[in-house]
């Protein structure tokens, strides 16, 4: 509620007309009308007299209700969290914009806002306003890094700004931010190792398996996403590592990486004119994408790894975050529209790949 809306509400509650309120304050009734319509705001010198006339405190007049602020904060947080279930980026953006206005200087919300701007730019906006939104995200992340006193938020903001800067080729500048990264926050952290030493029995095994999974994720990410994924040896290495550590092929969340590995290997094979092998790899990519979507969107819930190295580990796919509404299979289909596959687009087996 704006201050004008509060003035109108309180004026009526006190049985005052605009003219009478204006007379008491020695201003024109047109001024009061403009306040209530949101066209202007009362001068600072009028706040105390207004509050007295309307029988409220200045905090109440200005809308500074601690209890209401706490309720609003919780409501915004709940609305924000819901968007990670439905992938509604526009709502997430609106929530963040409201939050940073209501809570100026709150670095946690500013960081959320920065990530929302960046994720929306690379997801939904694509080419439209991409560079402009990326610059906006960079400025927001930089503000968070400079002003937050919380390592967790700083680490998150550094991760975001490095992504942004690397996407525009400013890798030296990005490295300066990497140097600000608190070493203790690198995953898996020394803290996790120490905690594992303090535990016993099955609890210790479960904990160690958990951070072993963290190592696996970091290693696979380094191979798959750090600019050399088109190299078939890199893809093969990532695939062999996953298969070695998840030996029973119950990949759970790693179906995501497996789908991308098979797709990128298919791209390499088609460039080398190996049509049959490329088609076979695309089929595998579709299989892994379908399995991943089953866990993520078709039947979200708690799933357990069964391979010996992770047989005490579970994942809850209901808690997975989303930055859009498309499934992994949708993404694979979209990537198959790349020019690379033009040479086999009329192939019978290719046309059958995505048939229901």
| pLDDT mean over 48-54 | 88
The pLDDT assigned to 306 comes to 97
Residue 86 host element (H or E): helix 66-86
Residue-wise pLDDT tens digits, 238-292: 999 999 999 999 999 999 999 999 999 999 999 888 999 999 999 999 999 999 9
Would you say residue 67 has pLDDT above 60? no
Q: State the pTM of this model.
A: 0.68
Residue 303 has phi, psi (to 5 degrees) of: -125, 145
Q: Which two tokens stand for residue 26?
A: 């020695």
Q: Distance between CA 283 and CA 300 in Å, rounded? A: 24
Share of the chain above pLDDT 70, in %: 93
Mean pLDDT, all residues of the chain: 88
Distance, first Cα to last Cα, the chain: 51
| pLDDT mean over 136-158 | 93
Residue 285 has phi, psi (to 5 degrees) of: -60, -40
Q: Quick count: other Cβ atoms within 10 Å of Cβ 269?
A: 19
Q: Classify residue 189 by its DSSP letter.
A: P
Nearest to 113, CA basis, from 133, 86, 87, 128: 133
Nearest to 147, CA basis, from 136, 157, 137: 157
Would you say residue 126 has pLDDT above 70? no
Q: Highest mean pLDDT: which of 94-108, 120-134, 285-299?
A: 285-299
Residue 230 has phi, psi (to 5 degrees) of: -75, -15
Q: Which two tokens stand for residue 44?
A: 């600072």
Nearest to 278, CA basis, from 353, 207, 170: 353
Residue 275's contacts (CB-CB under 8 Å, 6 or more residues apart) are 269, 343, 344, 347
Q: Quick count: other Cβ atoms within 10 Å of Cβ 233?
A: 10
Task: Give the pLDDT band (50/70/90) at residue 3.
Answer: confident
The pLDDT assigned to 209 comes to 93
Residue 325 has phi, psi (to 5 degrees) of: -100, -5
Q: Distance between CA 80 and CA 119 in Å, rounded? A: 14
Q: Quick count: other Cβ atoms within 10 Å of Cβ 71?
A: 11
Would you say residue 297 has pLDDT above 80? yes
Share of the chain above pLDDT 90, in %: 50
The pLDDT assigned to 1 comes to 66
Residue 315 has phi, psi (to 5 degrees) of: -130, 145
Would you say residue 71 has pLDDT above 60? yes
Centroid of chain to Cα 337 = 26
Peptide bond into 188 cis (omega under 30): yes
Task: Give the pLDDT band (50/70/90) at residue 233.
Answer: confident
Residue-wise pLDDT tens digits, 177-208: 888 877 654 455 666 777 787 788 899 999 99
Residue 64's contacts (CB-CB under 8 Å, 6 or more residues apart) are none
Residue 157 host element (H or E): helix 151-167
37 to 5, 44, 179, 310: CA distances (angstroms): 8, 18, 50, 62
| pLDDT mean over 35-47 | 88
Do 213 and 313 meet the contact criterion of CB atoms below 8 Å apart?
yes
Residue 350's contacts (CB-CB under 8 Å, 6 or more residues apart) are 279, 282, 341, 344
Q: Distance between CA 128 and CA 48 in Å, rounded? A: 48
Q: Distance between CA 14 and CA 54 in Å, rounded? A: 6
Q: How many residues does the chain have?
A: 356
Burial (Cβ within 10 Å: 0-12, 13-18, ≥19) of residue 146: exposed
The pLDDT assigned to 167 comes to 87
Residue 69's contacts (CB-CB under 8 Å, 6 or more residues apart) are 102, 103
The pLDDT assigned to 191 comes to 67
The pLDDT assigned to 119 comes to 92
């Amino acid at each position: 509620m704006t201050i004008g809306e509060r003035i109108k509400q309180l004026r009526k509650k006190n049985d005052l007309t605009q003219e009478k309120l204006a007379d008491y304050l020695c201003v024109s009734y047109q001024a009061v009308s403009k306040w209530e319509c949101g066209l202007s705001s009362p001068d600072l010198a009028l706040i105390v007299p207004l509050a007295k006339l309307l029988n409220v405190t200045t905090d109440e007049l200005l809308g500074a209700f601690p209890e209401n602020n706490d309720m609003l904060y919780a409501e915004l947080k709940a609305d924000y969290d819901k968007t990670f279930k439905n992938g509604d980026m526009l709502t997430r953006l609106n929530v963040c914009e409201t939050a940073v206005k209501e809570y100026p200087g709150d670095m946690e919300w500013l960081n959320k806002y920065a990530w929302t701007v960046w994720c929306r730019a690379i997801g939904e906006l694509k080419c439209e306003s991409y560079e402009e939104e990326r610059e906006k995200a960079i400025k927001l992340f930089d503000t968070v890094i400079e002003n937050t006193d919380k390592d967790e938020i700083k680490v998150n903001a550094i991760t975001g700004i490095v992504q942004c800067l690397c996407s525009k080729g400013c890798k030296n500048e990005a490295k300066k931010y990497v140097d600000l990264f608190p070493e203790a926050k690198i995953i898996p952290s020394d803290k996790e190792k120490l905690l594992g030493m303090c535990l016993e029995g099955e609890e210790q095994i479960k904990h160690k398996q958990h951070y072993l999974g963290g190592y696996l994720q970091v290693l696979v990410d380094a191979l798959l996403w750090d600019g050399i994924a088109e190299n078939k040896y890199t893809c093969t290495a990532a695939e062999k590592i996953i298969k070695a550590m998840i030996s029973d092929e119950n990949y759970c969340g790693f179906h995501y990486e497996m789908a991308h590995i098979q797709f990128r290997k298919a791209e390499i094979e088609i460039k080398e004119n190996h049509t049959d092998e490329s088609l076979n790899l695309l089929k595998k990519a579709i299989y892994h994408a379908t399995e991943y979507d089953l866990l993520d969107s078709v039947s979200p819930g708690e799933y357990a790894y069964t391979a010996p190295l992770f047989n005490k580990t579970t994942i809850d796919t209901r808690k997975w975050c989303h930055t859009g509404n498309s499934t992994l299979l949708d993404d694979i289909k979209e990537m198959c529209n790349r020019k690379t596959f033009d040479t086999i687009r009329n192939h019978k087996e290719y046309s059958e790949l995505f048939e229901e």
